[in-house]
Amino acid sequence: MTSQDYISPDKAQTLYGLFCERVKRSPDNEAYGYFDNESKQWQTLSWQNVADQVYLWQQALQQENLRKGDRVALNLRNSKEWIFFDLAALSLGLVVVPLYPDDRPDNVAYILQDADVRLLLLNNLKQWQAIKAVLPEEHSLNRIIILHDESAENELPLTTLADWLTQTDNDIALSPAAPDQLASIIYTSGTTGRSKGVMLSHQNMLSVAYGSLQFFEILPNDIFLSFLPLSHTLERTGGYYLPMMAGSKVVFSRSIPLLADDMRQVKPTIMIAVPRIFERIYDRVHKQLSESSWIRRLIFKAAVNVGWKRFQYQQGRKYWFPSILLWPLLNKLVVRRFHQRLGGNLRLAVTGGAALPSYAAKMFIGLNLTLLQGYGLTETSPVISVNDPSSNDPASVGRPIKGVEVRIGQQDELEVKGPGNMLGYWNNHKATSQVIDADGWLHTGDKARISESGHIYIVGRIKDILVLNNGEKVPPGDIEAAIISNGLIEQALVLGEGRPYLAALLVINGEKWPQIAQQLGLDPLLMDSLDSKVLQHYFIKLLRQWLFEFPAYARIRRVYLTLQPWTLENGLLTPTLKVKRALVLEKFDRQIQALYSDASG
């Protein structure tokens, strides 16, 4: 397929316009696949099937007396209903607020209040009961729809989807939006402990999806396996709107635990994921190898090494080498078998949201998978750059997509200007002005360098932000301040860069230590008491209480406890009494590794 066959932003105009054009072009082609729990079979919907369902959702939404620009929210796992709701809402000029399925009820309640949400779609009654318990009595919700019928309470404004989707004879009064009008508010981690609402227009997401398509060929017979939450901008733009532009099929995975089985059954050709998914596969492969014979481990290692050199040769970064002659044999013994575990048809994988570890990149690329690392922010809809197959440097985050300008500003900060730049933060002009300057350049907060080839290399961050390996961005300073404000902890350093969860180094207040130890039945004079499981659990429980006001990302799972403070004398504080983070990390490297030694994600 050439780029001329894709639906361009100019042709689509809006996200709903994109859908209408897709239905017009290929009504009978397969659009979505899903697993039906009743029949225990994978089912498929054509684009016309989807259009018929969207019509029913449009009718139901139209009965709610919502006005153009009103906010409607949904908290579902990836499903056909997510798509129906999104398209129907956008067709009526409503603003969609996607919520993370695993987010804490209090953070969901905050978002519902902050965005003044009028209507909410939930998966089950349990979700609503948890939200209702922390939602103020005065709120704007006029309707709550429960996807699955669970003998829901007969209390207005609650209703089940089956009752809500009652077909009427009323015509649909579509309210088409302009390309630059607000389409969605996506809440992301804020630096004050509260989420900020990123405002994205139709044009924002259309332009980024189309710009990304210029980097690799996507075909109508391609199959995307969707498992990243659609509330994640990478999945929404890259795994939902982008396939619609190309006319590709999207299949919704049943769950992350069943992902390996789903890949074998669905046989996807394209996968979009955060690095953690590739790390999990890497860990599983090497765990199985550790239980295999030495000869099998040797052959696998040879396949990766020869495949990696072969990749570098194809990229023009290495001369011909004799061991490439082993490739046909290694391909038969190792590579083909590995690809069968991924379904057998996977030809392209894109990762973003966090840095991809070099060891994982080497294994997948060495085993002949086209794995491309990209980069972006929710505030840029989200893609800024991505590698392309013909110029793929896994150490970089690729080159800017079409229409995006990048430059290096003060402190080596990467600055971005492009059609994907957000409209701003919802109800937060101050935060908006801090990120987007008067000339329209968005300040990413990341330090970077740009090579002569145009590849972007992220080398650090201006502000102290941790990026977990699932792409979640965490401001440790606010969390650390909350921890030490209680008086039991003198100093705290939150960990998690490139890791699956947060951990912390904590310096216990020496004056309070005897009382804490006595309370837990420990000897305060024995240093071994600091390693006690009882003490560990005690502080982890306290941390949950102290960080209750923070979103779900602030949960700390492991702690290392010490009574030795970080001081000017031991070189761990600056003259202004700020913690020298790099030196503390270096000093406690062994202890930090132990906190993550058996990390399972």
List, for residues 217-260, the tens digit of each pLDDT value: 999 999 999 999 999 999 999 999 999 999 999 999 999 899 99
Q: What domains does the chain contain, in order, with CATH numbers?
A: 13-177 (3.40.50.12780), 475-595 (3.30.300.30)
Read off the tokens for 203: 């044009």
Give the CA-trace dihedral at 438, 440, 445, 446, to 10 degrees.
-140
Structure confidence at residue 442 (pLDDT): 98
Q: How far apart are CA 435 and CA 567, in angstroms?
A: 34
Structure confidence at residue 137 (pLDDT): 86
Instruction: Write out the H or E segment, with its range, that includes residue 371.
Output: strand 371-376
As separate numbers, helices (DSSP H) first and strands (DSSP E) second, the chain gives 22, 26
Q: How far apart are CA 522 and CA 294, in angstroms?
A: 47
Which range is least confidently modeled, 87-96, 106-115, 353-362, 421-430? 353-362
Sort strands 223-226 and 270-273 into parallel, antiparallel or unpaired: parallel
Q: In one letter, which amino acid is 436?
A: I
Q: How far apart are CA 72 and CA 59, in angstroms?
A: 15
Beta-carbon count within 10 A of 210 CB: 25
Q: How far apart are CA 23 and CA 89, in angstroms?
A: 17
Structure confidence at residue 354 (pLDDT): 81
Which range is least confidently modeled, 59-63, 163-167, 336-340, 379-383? 163-167
Closest to 313 measured CA to CA, from 325, 331, 329, 330 = 325
pLDDT in tens, 462-471: 777 788 888 8
Residues 252 and 78: beta-carbon distance below 8 Å: yes
Find the mean pLDDT for residues 145-161. Answer: 78
Which range is least confidently modeled, 7-16, 440-449, 480-489? 480-489
* pLDDT band at 150; cut points 50, 70, 90: low
Residues in contact with 367: Cβ distance below 8 Å, sequence separation at least 6, in sequence order: 303, 304, 307, 334, 335, 338, 339
Structure confidence at residue 60 (pLDDT): 95
Residue with tokens 């930090």: 592
Verdict on whether the full-model pTM lies above 0.95: no
Which range in 93-97, 148-152, 185-189 is most confidently predicted, on average pLDDT? 93-97
**Would you give the distance in Å from CA 201 to the centre of its chain?**
19
Structure confidence at residue 191 (pLDDT): 39
Structure confidence at residue 577 (pLDDT): 65
* Cα 521–Cα 525–Cα 528 angle in degrees, nearest 5: 75
* pLDDT band at 579; cut points 50, 70, 90: confident
Closest to 18 measured CA to CA, from 1, 31, 2 = 31
Structure confidence at residue 152 (pLDDT): 55
* pLDDT band at 320; cut points 50, 70, 90: confident
Residues 375 and 352: beta-carbon distance below 8 Å: yes
Find the mean pLDDT for residues 8-23. Answer: 97
Q: In one letter, which amino acid is 6?
A: Y
Residue 4 clears pLDDT 80, i.e. is over it: no
pLDDT in tens, 526-552: 989 999 999 999 999 999 999 887 877
Residue 599 clears pLDDT 70, i.e. is over it: no
Residues in contact with 62: Cβ distance below 8 Å, sequence separation at least 6, in sequence order: 92, 170, 172, 173
Question: SS in 3 state form for 125-145?
Answer: HHHHHHHHCCCCCCCCCCEEE
Name 458's bridge partners.
448
Residues 193 and 554: beta-carbon distance below 8 Å: yes
Between the CA of residue 420 and those of 214, 417, 427, what are the distances in Å? 15, 8, 20
Residue 568 clears pLDDT 80, i.e. is over it: no
Residue 51 clears pLDDT 50, i.e. is over it: yes
* pLDDT band at 567; cut points 50, 70, 90: confident
Q: How far apart are CA 200 and CA 54, in angstroms?
A: 22
Residue 1 clears pLDDT 50, i.e. is over it: no
* pLDDT band at 20; cut points 50, 70, 90: very high
Residue 169 clears pLDDT 80, i.e. is over it: no
Q: pLDDT over 90 for what percent of the chain? A: 75
Find the mean pLDDT for residues 327-340. Answer: 97
Instruction: Write out the H or E segment, with its range, that includes residue 249.
Output: strand 249-252
Structure confidence at residue 172 (pLDDT): 82
